[in-house]
Structure 1
């Protein structure tokens, strides 16, 4: 007599839920990154995918316990559901750690925010208010996010900053070289993170008694928490600029001599929308 061994329904459902959670997480990320859905819709979709992934894990664990005692088939299905659920929860674990590590802030600047205006401000009527931190907290959490002063001509420093922006692939939306629209140079650039969050960077190069000074602002668009991205972005950029200036002055002792301004250059302004 042939004995039939059943396949656990719990294991089948664990696999189904795990397989469903993957596209429900990946698809909104892709659509959000490409700008086809807005941030609130993306957040809702991501939470649904996370809840489904958690459900897949719970069902898979229950299926594994039942399989241990019943002897039914379905170990592979249950383990697959468990694996897919855990993979889908990895991004939530990562951002959960960042939320614990960094305060809920969405706007970081090395100087007064009003001195570094953002291009997307006219579109902020429906956006949450920016989350700010005190100067003391900023200095403690992001010690490298500070104004830099170098013995360089403003045009030289602006050129170096512009090159670093290009290396990072930031989308420049507004550009004034020093002397084109006043003594200060300015760059506004848009950044899209891997998850699709939009952020804007403002860089200002101004004359200084030591040569030139550079300030920077990084702000999130339509977000309630940046998970440390803005402060880390400014810190990384400034440290990279420190290295570039140090190398330049070491290899070219006369690099801090004033450079002639390009008086014929015109300001380049791109559409800030989108």
Structure 2
């Protein structure tokens, strides 16, 4: 007499749900990055994908527990569902940990925001109002987000800023060459497809300069720490670039004196 061992239907559903969860996450991100869906629709799609992934994990665990007691077939399907569901949940776990680590903020700046306006101002294109930190919160969360002052002229400092913006691959949307003020507005796209705007403002004279920076999320309700981290990383790189420039060229902050010496007529022989 032949004994038939059935395949657990719960294990079958676990693999099906897990197989669907990963494409749902990927498709939602791609559609958002290519601007084929709005941020609101992206959030709805992401939540749906997360729920499917969570259900896949739960069903997989229940299927494994039932297989242990029943002896049915379907271990491979249950484990596949658990693996796929876990992979689909990983982005949600990662961003959830960032949400717990950083406060819900969308706009970080080293100075008054009126001096560093965005090209996409809050209140336009259905943008939510910005969420900002108090001075105390800023000092606690991002202690290195501070105005930089350098013993280097505004023109060479602005050139270093432009180079760092290019090195980061940011999309420059507006460039104001330095007179008394030089400014760069650039846009960045995060991995899930959120757009964020950076403003770097350089002021000063021929022998000194000050650099301020602003980074803001355009349509998100939480930046997961990206704006503050971006400013800290950029200003740290700028500190290093200015230090290297002054070390390798000590006269870099004295263009006027260098030019006057070059233009001075040579003394005539008596």
C-alpha distance 125-171 of structure 1, shift in aligned 2 (>3 A): closer
What SS is found at the alignment partner of 2:223?
coil
Change (3 A) 1:185 1:123: same
The CA distance in 1 between the partners of 2:17 and 2:100, in whole Å, is: 29
Residue 223 of structure 1: aligned partner: 220
> Higher Cα Rg: structure 1 or 2?
2
Q: 1:173 to 1:259 in 2, by over 3 A?
A: farther
Does the 8 Å CA contact 2:206/2:256 hold for their aligned counterparts? no
Q: How far did residue 130 of structure 1 move?
A: 0.6
The aligned residue for residue 266 of structure 1 is: none
Q: Which moved more, 1:162-171 or 1:251-260?
A: 251-260
Q: TM-score, normalised by structure 1?
A: 0.91
| d(CA) in 2 for partners of 1:208, 1:101 | 40
Aligned residue in 2 for 1:90: 90
- RMSD between aligned residues: 1.5
Query: Is the CA contact (8 Å cut-off) linking 2:105 and 2:222 kept in structure 1?
Result: yes
The CA distance in 2 between the partners of 1:95 and 1:85, in whole Å, is 16
Task: Report the Cα distance in structure 2 between the residues aligned to 1:142 and 1:210, rounded to whole angstroms.
Answer: 29
| Counterpart in the other structure of 2:25 | 25
Give the direction of change, closer, same or farther, for the CA distance of 1:72–1:122 in structure 2 (3 Å limit). Answer: closer
Deviations along 1:193-214, one digit per CA (max 9) or x if unpaired, are 1110000000100016970000
Contact 1:149/1:210, CA 8 A, preserved across alignment: no
Q: Which residue of 1 aligns with 2:150?
A: 150
The yes-or-no answer on 1:188 pairing with 2:155 is: no
Residues 1:259 and 1:140: Cα distance change in structure 2 (over 3 Å): farther
TM-score (norm 2): 0.92
Deviations 1:1-21 (A, max 9, x none): 221111100000000000011
* Distance in 2 between residues matched to 1:9 and 1:152, nearest whole Å: 71
Per the alignment, residue 255 of structure 1 pairs with 252
Structure with more of its chain in helix, by fraction: 2
Structure 2 residues not aligned, in runs of 5+: 258-270
Residues 61-210 of structure 1 mapped to structure 2, 5 A cutoff: 61-121=61-121, 124=124, 126-179=126-179, 183-207=180-204
Secondary structure of the residue that 1:78 maps to in structure 2? helix
- Check the 8 A contact 2:122/2:128 in 1, yes or no: no
Provide the aligned length of Structure 1 versus Structure 2.
257
Gaps of 5+ in 1: 261-274
Report Cα offsets for 1:219-245 as digits up to 9, x if no partner: 001111100000000000000101111
Partner of residue 265, structure 2? none
